[in-house]
């Protein structure tokens, strides 16, 4: 996946213009304990942010929990057979297919209830990616997206880096200083391992293509 800019990708202008990007920001309290867990959205060809912000709610123009802290810019030419004219459309017709797929995803998810564990903001972005068959696959999931953003995402600003890591580091330092191994065991056994195990089992064993069956029934 190439993050280099092309003429058709457009310029990223933080804090709110991220064309062809997946964007992410921390969730207060949750991300302070698990910095790889946060709120995710996806952007139009013009850079407008859209996210699944709650039951039957698509938020437009910003993320529910603040400006993006991290982002990864996608290449509109890396789509699968579902949109074979994407590369040409990016130059010749205002990137219609990209925005049309995003519109379809928004249309589906504005009729969905929100569930943090099963049908959330990550699932909304994964549905969009599967609509495009981005990278030639329809196996995008919330776990795959979370891993991609965590390891390959770029910080939008110094403040984005700070608000992602400072609360977590502060809690860990204080907790380990006063609670020693008891705090570490409680954090790992009570928070990290159960939540990680659930998302892995759900994404890879229960719902390999987020929302696909439900989307077909609600279309």
pLDDT tens digits for 127-149? 999 998 888 888 898 888 998 99
3-state helix, strand, coil in the chain (%, to 5): 50, 15, 35
* Planar angle of CA 29, 47, 40, nearest 5 degrees: 25
Residue 7 scores a pLDDT above 70: no
Residue 198's pLDDT band, with cuts at 50, 70 and 90, is confident
Instruction: Count CB atoms within 10 A of the CB of residue 127.
Output: 27
Pairwise CA distance, residues 52 & 63, whole Å: 9
Q: What is the DSSP letter of 188?
A: I
Starting from the edge strand earliest in sequence, which strands make up the sheet with 49-54, in order? Answer: 57-60, 49-54, 38-43, 21-26, 70-73, 154-155
Phi then psi for residue 115, to 5 deg, are: -140, 120
Q: E strands of 46-138, at which residues?
A: 49-54, 57-60, 70-73
* Planar angle of CA 121, 123, 126, nearest 5 degrees: 115
Q: What is residue 102's predicted lDDT score, i.e. its pLDDT? A: 94
Q: What is residue 13's predicted lDDT score, i.e. its pLDDT? A: 84
205's CB contacts (< 8 A; 6+ apart) are none
Q: Which position has the higher pLDDT, 1 or 56?
A: 56
Model-level pTM? 0.82
* Planar angle of CA 160, 161, 167, nearest 5 degrees: 100
What pLDDT digit, counting tens, does each position of 159-175 carry?
Answer: 999 999 999 999 999 99
Q: What is residue 2's predicted lDDT score, i.e. its pLDDT? A: 44
Terminal Cα distance for the chain, rounded: 30
Residue 8 scores a pLDDT above 70: no
Q: What is residue 9's predicted lDDT score, i.e. its pLDDT? A: 64
Residue 117 scores a pLDDT above 90: no
What pLDDT digit, counting tens, does each position of 65-115 carry?
Answer: 999 999 999 988 876 654 444 444 444 443 677 888 899 999 999 999 998
Coil, strand or helix at 52: strand
Burial classification of residue 132, based on how many CB atoms lie within 10 Å of its CB (0-12 exposed, 13-18 middle, 19 or more buried): buried
Contact indicator for 77, 17 with CB cutoff of 8 Å: no
């Amino acid at each position: 996946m190439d993050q280099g800019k092309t003429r058709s990708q457009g310029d990223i202008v933080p804090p709110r213009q991220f064309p062809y990007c997946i964007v992410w920001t921390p969730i207060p309290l949750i991300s302070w304990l698990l910095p790889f867990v946060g709120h995710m959205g996806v952007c139009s060809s013009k850079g407008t942010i859209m996210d699944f912000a709650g039951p039957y709610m698509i938020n437009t123009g910003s993320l529910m929990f603040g400006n993006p802290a991290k982002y990864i810019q996608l290449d509109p030419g890396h789509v699968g057979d579902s949109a074979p004219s994407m590369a040409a459309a990016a130059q010749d017709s205002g990137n219609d297919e990209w925005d049309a797929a995003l519109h379809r995803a928004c249309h589906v998810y504005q009729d969905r209830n929100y569930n943090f564990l099963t049908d959330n903001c990550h699932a909304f972005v994964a549905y969009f990616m599967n609509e495009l068959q981005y990278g030639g696959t329809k196996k995008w999931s919330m776990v795959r997206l979370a891993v991609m953003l965590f390891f390959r995402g770029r910080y939008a600003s110094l403040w984005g880096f700070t608000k992602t890591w400072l609360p977590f580091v502060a809690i860990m330092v204080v907790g380990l200083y006063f609670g020693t191994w008891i705090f570490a065991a409680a954090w790992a056994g009570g928070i990290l391992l159960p939540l990680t195990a659930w998302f892995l089992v759900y994404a890879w064993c229960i719902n390999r293509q987020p929302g696909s069956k439900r989307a077909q029934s609600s279309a």
